[in-house]
Amino acid sequence: MEWMNAEQVLRRAETPLLWVGALTVVLLVLWLLYKLLSGFRIWIWGNGHLVSPKLGKWAVVTGATDGIGKSYAEELAHRGFAMMLISRSQHKLDDVAQCLKEQYKVETRTIAVDFGKTDIYQKIEAGLAGLEIGVLVNNVGVSYAYPEYFLNIPDLDNFITNMINVNITSVCQMTRLVLPRMSERSKGVILNISSAGGMYPLPLLTLYSSTKAFVDFFSRGLQEEYRRSGIIIQSVLPFFVATKMTRIKKPTLDKPTPERYVAAELATVGLQSQTNGYFPHAVMGWLTTKLVPINLVIFFGARMNRLQRTGYLNRKKIREQNNGSALKFD
C-alpha cells in the first residue's frame, strides 16, 4: 500500500519535474547564446570607432615613451588625436613626439615629470590648460626589479613611496585634472591601466599587486558614479605583454606585442567597464577567477615568483663573482 502511494506521488510529480527540467535547459541555452553573442560583440565585432577625435581633440597618455603607453600614443595619433605625452625623460618624449608628428601629421606636446614625486601636478595642470581632452590613458606604472619578500626589498621606505605615487596617486590626480572638463562636455574616455596582477594577490609582488587592485576598484567605482554623464571610465587588466617592463622579448599568442594588445583593447571601450583587453587574456582571466580556487591561484603565483626570485639572485651572484674575478685579473 505504501509502495502504491509512493508511485502515485511520483506520477503526479512527473509532469512538473519535466517542466522544471525543460525550463532549466531553455534558460541554460539562452544564457549560453547570450554569452556567445556578447563574446562575438566584444571580441569579433568590437567597438573600434568609438574612440575618435569626436570625443575631443586631444588625447593624454602618461608613461608614453615605452611599451603599452607608447603604443597607445601611436594608435591614438593614427586615429587623428592631437597628442599630449607625459613621462619622465624629455629626450624620449621629444623622440616619440617627433615620430608621431612626422608619421601621423598631428599636433604633439610634451610634459616631462617624475610621477614618483607629488609636487608635479601644478605643472601638469598648467600644461593641460585650455585643451579639449577626449581621452586620458593613465598608463604610467612601476613594478619590482625582481620578485621579493616584502621586508627584503632594497630601500623599502623609498620603494613604497615611489610605487604608491606612480601607480596610485598618478591615476587619482590625473583623473582629478581631466574629469571636470569631460563632465562639462558630457563625453570623454579614461582608460586606467591596471594589471591582471590586481585581480588577486600576488605574493612576492605584493605591493605592486595591491596598487593595481586599487586602480581596478577606483576605475569601476568611478564608472558607476559617472556613467550617466556620458563618460566612460575603463579598468584595463592585461596579463603579460612583450614590453621592457615584463622583459619578454619574443611575443606569442598569449604574450602579444603592445601594438597588438592596444588595438584589441580599444575595441572593448564602451562594451566592458572592466576588461583584460585581449581575447586570450580574457580566457586566462575567466579561468583564474571563475574556475580555479583563489587559494590555488595564490599558491601557484607565489611558487612562480619564488622560482623567478631564485633565478634572478643566482644570476646576480654569478655576475658579481665574474666582476670580482675580472677586477683581480686587472
DSSP H or E segment with residue 320 = helix 294-329
**pLDDT value of residue 14:** 65
In order of 2, 22, 124, 128, the CA distances from 135 in angstroms are 74, 48, 16, 12
pTM: 0.87
Return the active site residues.
208
Q: Does the pLDDT value for residue 195 go beyond 90? A: yes
pLDDT one-digit tens code per residue, 314-329: 999 898 888 766 555 5
**pLDDT value of residue 54:** 96
Task: Please give the CATH topology (third level) of the domain spanning 53-291.
Answer: Rossmann fold (3.40.50)
Tell me what percent of the residues of the chain surpass a pLDDT of 90.
76
Q: Does the pLDDT value for residue 282 go beyond 70? A: yes
pLDDT one-digit tens code per residue, 82-107: 999 999 999 999 999 999 999 999 99
CA distance 68 to 265: 11
In order of 131, 149, 188, 231, the CA distances from 312 in angstroms are 45, 13, 43, 43
Each domain of the chain, given as residue ranges in start order, spans 53-291
**Phi, psi (rounded to 5 degrees) for 16:** -60, -40
**pLDDT value of residue 7:** 63
**pLDDT value of residue 138:** 98
Confidence of residue 247 (pLDDT cuts 50, 70, 90): confident
CA distance 92 to 265: 25
The distance between the two most distant Cα atoms of the chain, rounded to a whole number of Å, is: 104
pLDDT one-digit tens code per residue, 10-24: 566 667 767 776 777
